[in-house]
Structure 1
Amino acid sequence: MTDHMIDHGLGGYGLGGASAHDGPRAVRAWRRLRWGLCALSFCAIPAFYVELTVPTPLALSLSRTLYVGMFAGFALSFTWLAHLSRRPKTLLANNWLDLLIALGAALSTGFGTPPWQPVEWLLRLSFMGVVALRIVLSLREFVTPNRLMWLLLAGALVLAMAGAGFYWLEPHVHSYSEGLWLAFESSATVGYGDIAPTTPASRVFAAFVVLLGYGMLSLVFASIAAAFIGKEERALRREMHRDIKHLNDEIVRLHAELKALRQTIDAAARRSDAAAGSVTRTGE
């Protein structure tokens, strides 16, 4: 899949990148920058949870440093892209999601320390949701349903990281294995109830684990189903090719028989005409 196809498919989500009809310098710059912007998006995750779970001046400084780094990275990248682009306004309009993330990162540096007010909770969770959407859309090409092994490895990695996250965020989780079990319960939406998130941080984390884990499991099962369906489709395709070849052979044979019949009829007609001409001459 080409970069143009990927960007075109994500244009409706505000991640259109640099259009193939834009200047070649802008297109090349976007190809170099798009994965860097995706990596910058991940900075919002530790920034959010460090500020939420460790409300100390040092943690607040670290969190805001990450937000400043995100804002600076996005702002400088799109300033450069707009400078290289032939249509900078169109470029910025096609990448409104990244501009929204840059704005959210800038605003996050000015908010206070926890406990947050309801409006601030809403804004921060909305910002984290936008960041999560940007990460998932950026990695979409790597989680297509026909890549079963990659999906299994990605699922195992997500489960391992989610277990570590619950071990860090949830006080009722006393070991990594319990965190891993809670991550599996959340991602599989089982909910046995033996362990449950109790703090705001772990509950927010659980919400993202449920969404990401459910989507990952759906892709894994869809990939397995596609493998079986693909096998049946290949067998059906081979059978159709055999039938088409047989029909082509029959058509060729019928054409040959029709040609021979036409030649026989033409020969008989010529003989009849010759005989008629001979009788006419004899009568004269």
Structure 2
Amino acid sequence: MANGLDFFSIGGADAHDGARAVHAWHVIRWLLCGWSLLVIPAFYGELTSTSQGALTIARSLYLCMFAGFALCLLWMLHTSRKPKAWLAHNRLDVTIMIGAAFSAGWGAPPWQTVEWVLRLLFVGLVAIRIVLSLKVFFAPNRLIGLLIAGAGVLAMAGAGFLWLEPRVHNYADGLWLAFESSATVGYGDIAPTTPASRVFAVFVVLLGYGMLSLVFASIAAAFIGKEERALRHEMHRDIKHLNAEIVQLRAELHALRESLTPSSDAITDAEALHSVPRDHH
């Protein structure tokens, strides 16, 4: 039974939809993830644009994003045996495609309150879509991968603050502000002051929460995993001992049953004795 949270998911292609649709989805899902990444330079390029040329470039990125999503969705509709059901299971992608189209030709900074809400809602949906696409790489038991990904996110966040925050004068300060934001330390020595850097800090904080939670969960799983393996080994050893005891008990029970059961020769002699006629006096 479907629920409201199905909207915030990537339905993909059903295994019963046909081999062509499943194969196409394996390719298209990564293309959609790549097109989704265009929202980052498009959003901040439009937000910080100071000339018509910069604004045109940002909107061109939105237009490319819309075209990429539209082509991928048309490809899936062409290969799917159940196009209507596929659209219903992938409403998030359809919504992002429509939002990219509106972003390409509507609104110019400074944005009004309603425009801010709609823009942030759109960027938030795209961020959810990117995380859902990459969640396979962020399993809690992949500590090394998580640490590498966290370092990469921190490096990109530092570059973003260097670009967006005027109080950040070098890359080291950008990295420090990125760490403060992702770890939610908040020393206050450097703080976002512009709308662009504040919006960027919001996403860095949310992403930092997720990354730190996964890293600590992976470390805890590593310690717990050792104890679980030891318990599993002990349990397997006990099961082997129990199996051996059961086999031995069955053998003893079979031997006991054989000793209590009369032999066939004894039964034959007893039957012959009873069949001999007796004299009547």
* TM-score, with structure 1 as normaliser: 0.89
8 Å Cα contact 1:38-1:135 kept in structure 2: yes
2:219 is aligned, of 216, 219, 224, to 224
Percent of aligned positions that are identical: 66
Structure 2 residue matching 1:139: 3-state secondary structure:
helix
1:234 is aligned, of 229, 232, 240, to 229
Q: Structure 1 residue 126: deviation in Å? A: 0.5
Match of 1:106 in 2: 101
1:64 aligns with 2:73: no
1:28 aligns with 2:23: yes
Letter in 2 for 1:16: G
1:127 aligns with 2:107: no
Letter in 2 for 1:196: A
Q: Structure 1 residue 266: deviation in Å? A: 2.5
For structure 2, list consecutive stretches of 5 or more residues without a partner in the other structure: none
Match of 1:198 in 2: 193
Q: Describe the superposition over 1:167-187 as per-residue Cα deviations: whole angstroms up to 9, x where unpaired.
A: 111111111111111111111
Aligned-residue Cα RMSD (Å) equals: 2.4
8 Å Cα contact 2:107-2:115 kept in structure 1: no
Partners of 1:24 and 1:159 in 2: how far apart? 40
Partners of 1:110 and 1:11 in 2: how far apart? 29
Q: Structure 1 residue 112: deviation in Å? A: 3.0
Match of 1:45 in 2: 40
Alignment map for 1:245-256 (pairs within 5 Å): 245-256=240-251
Q: Structure 1 residue 155: deviation in Å? A: 0.4
Structure 1 residue matching 2:261: 3-state secondary structure:
helix
Q: Describe the superposition over 1:29-49 as per-residue Cα deviations: whole angstroms up to 9, x where unpaired.
A: 222211011000000110010
For structure 1, list consecutive stretches of 5 or more residues without a partner in the other structure: 1-9
Matched residues, number: 274
Match of 2:150 in 1: 155
Displacement over 6 Å in runs of 4+: 268-281
* TM-score, with structure 2 as normaliser: 0.90
